[in-house]
């Protein structure tokens, strides 16, 4: 497939580079790339400033593929579901984590105002605000962790799409010099995103990194990363759960508050405190880590919202089940599930890479998208279910 004509606002492509100077993380993004003119495609200027999170797509030859790739299907999810359901048949007690905290909480039935009439990023389709009614559901209190995902993989032998493709997108600022020196591609509109061979959920920054570096550096309690929408769906189905709809996710994010920016209110730093793992400093060159983390943090490191949910904004982006569209109306909706078809899936909440200057998407109404087979070093998920599991 050539460069896709249906790529939306960025019209970005991977640039096939003769050379990249990645020696200094202080170098501005524009200076990072040396590009043969015949292979340069200029992104449209309709996007404005952005982290480029939604530019990560495998289609259109974005990532080189080696060997046989087997896109996941609904059948795969059903297979894992049956196994999970058999195992959990007699398990009625709410599951708790090692700290005795329930792994899922009830999100009560109700109505809320979805989206906003004062969009931070209008082209993302954050508006108009519309009234939405939802049935009750249960939601994971934290993002699915590496430990959680390892349990799934150990039980099923599941192989993620990043492992099948052989690579995944990693933020340049997290890569070691040896790994950087081998990179020959970058995302044109967001050159801090680099496709890294061998990057996957076990090796978030490529082959020389690990979620289990040492007992002190273990990231088993961090959100799992480099999982595609299909991977996330397979996990949730195995667990007897499903991905939340965008409406469920946003309703849960708001924690019972009405028309507020964040899960906790309108102030980014209430009482001078950090309530989410975001980016402080200058993006993408300097992350001060003022909130304690320059990459992911252990799940539940920041205060929970009114429903007892942690990291709904920040830390890792979270997949939802909806197809992406930017077209909404003010019609009142009941349990909406998004468009019937589409090309990208909706993700919510922003990540540790979000800064107001580049990615003001750490708001409940904010949204972004990726193709279902995309994966990156700042994108994870959590699950929901109709019953407490
Ligand atoms: Ca941070
Ligand atoms: Ca999150």
SS3 374: coil
Longest dimension (CA), the chain: 63
pLDDT digits (tens, 9 = 90+) for 202-255: 999 999 999 997 777 899 999 999 999 999 999 999 999 999 999 999 999 999
Separation of CA 16 and ligand 2 centre (Å): 32
Q: How far apart are the first and last CA of the chain?
A: 42
Residue with tokens 């009405």: 258
For residue 322, what are its two tokens? 């909806």
43 pLDDT band, cuts 50/70/90, is: very low
Separation of CA 94 and ligand 1 centre (Å): 32
41 pLDDT band, cuts 50/70/90, is: very low
DSSP code for 33: E
Separation of CA 178 and ligand 1 centre (Å): 25
Separation of CA 113 and ligand 1 centre (Å): 29
Taking 70 as the threshold, does the pLDDT of residue 164 lie above it? yes
Separation of CA 279 and ligand 2 centre (Å): 13
Ligand nearest to the Cα of 316, by number: 2
pLDDT digits (tens, 9 = 90+) for 90-108: 344 667 766 666 799 999 9
Q: Where are the alpha helices (DSSP H) in the chain?
A: 74-87, 146-156, 161-165, 177-180, 229-238, 246-254
Separation of CA 56 and ligand 2 centre (Å): 18
What confidence score (pLDDT) does residue 59 get?
56
For residue 315, give Cα distances in angstroms to 3, 105, 353, 380: 32, 20, 8, 9
14-24 CB burial, b ≥16 within 10 A, e <16: bbebeebebee
DSSP code for 50: -
How many Å apart are CA 236 and CA 323, to the nearest integer?
A: 17
Instruction: Determine contact, residues 201/175, Cβ cutoff 8 Å.
Output: no
Ligand nearest to the Cα of 315, by number: 2
Ligand nearest to the Cα of 349, by number: 2
SS3 241: coil
pLDDT digits (tens, 9 = 90+) for 287-325: 999 999 999 999 999 999 999 999 999 999 999 999 999
What confidence score (pLDDT) does residue 13 get?
32
pTM for the full predicted model: 0.81
Separation of CA 4 and ligand 2 centre (Å): 30
Separation of CA 102 and ligand 1 centre (Å): 26
Taking 70 as the threshold, does the pLDDT of residue 382 lie above it? yes
Instruction: Determine contact, residues 373/71, Cβ cutoff 8 Å.
Output: yes
Ligand nearest to the Cα of 355, by number: 1
Strands (E), 21-109: 33-34, 104-107
How many Å apart are CA 235 and CA 190, to the nearest integer?
A: 30
Calculated CA dihedral for residues 134, 135, 138, 139, nearest 10 degrees: -10
Mean of per-residue pLDDT scores for the chain: 81
Separation of CA 1 and ligand 2 centre (Å): 33
Mean pLDDT calculated for residue range 326-335: 98
What confidence score (pLDDT) does residue 324 get?
98
Ligand nearest to the Cα of 287, by number: 1
Ligand nearest to the Cα of 314, by number: 2
Separation of CA 295 and ligand 1 centre (Å): 6
128 upstream amide cis, omega within 30 of 0: yes
């Amino acid at each position: 497939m050539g460069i896709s004509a249906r790529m939306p606002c960025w019209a970005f492509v991977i640039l096939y580079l003769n050379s990249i100077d990645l020696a200094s993380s202080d170098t501005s993004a524009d200076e990072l790339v040396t590009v043969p003119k015949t292979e340069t495609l200029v992104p449209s200027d309709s996007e404005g400033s952005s982290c480029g999170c939604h530019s990560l797509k495998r289609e259109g030859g974005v990532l080189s593929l080696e060997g046989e790739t087997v896109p996941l299907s609904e059948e795969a999810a059903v297979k894992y579901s049956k196994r999970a359901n058999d195992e959990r048949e007699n398990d009625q007690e709410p599951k708790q984590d090692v700290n005795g905290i329930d792994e899922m909480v009830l999100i009560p039935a109700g109505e809320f105002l979805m989206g906003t009439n004062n969009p931070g990023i209008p082209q993302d389709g954050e508006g108009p605000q519309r009234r939405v009614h939802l049935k009750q559901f249960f939601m994971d209190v934290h993002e699915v962790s590496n430990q959680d995902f390892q349990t799934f993989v150990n039980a099923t032998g599941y192989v993620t799409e990043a492992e099948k493709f052989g690579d995944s997108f990693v933020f340049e600022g997290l890569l070691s010099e040896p790994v950087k020196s081998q990179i020959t591609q970058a995302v044109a509109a967001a050159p801090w995103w680099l496709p890294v061979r061998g990057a996957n959920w076990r090796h978030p920054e490529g082959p020389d990194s690990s979620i289990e570096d040492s007992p002190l550096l273990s990231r088993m309690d961090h959100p799992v990363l480099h999982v595609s929408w299909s991977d996330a769906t397979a996990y949730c189905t195995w667990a007897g759960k499903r991905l939340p709809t965008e409406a469920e996710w946003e309703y849960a994010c708001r924690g019972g508050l009405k028309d507020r920016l964040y899960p906790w209110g309108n102030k980014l730093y209430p009482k001078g405190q950090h309530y989410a793992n975001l980016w402080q400093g200058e993006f993408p060159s300097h992350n001060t880590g003022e909130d304690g983390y320059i990459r992911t943090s252990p799940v539940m490191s920041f205060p929970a919202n009114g429903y007892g949910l942690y990291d709904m904004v920040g830390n890792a982006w979270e997949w939802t089940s909806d197809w992406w569209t930017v077209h909404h109306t003010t019609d009142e909706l009941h349990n909406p599930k998004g468009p019937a078809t589409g090309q990208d899936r909706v993700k919510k909440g922003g990540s540790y890479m979000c800064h107001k200057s580049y990615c003001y998407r750490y708001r409940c109404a904010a949204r972004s998208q990726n193709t279902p087979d995309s994966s990156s070093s700042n994108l994870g998920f959590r699950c929901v279910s109709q019953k407490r599991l």
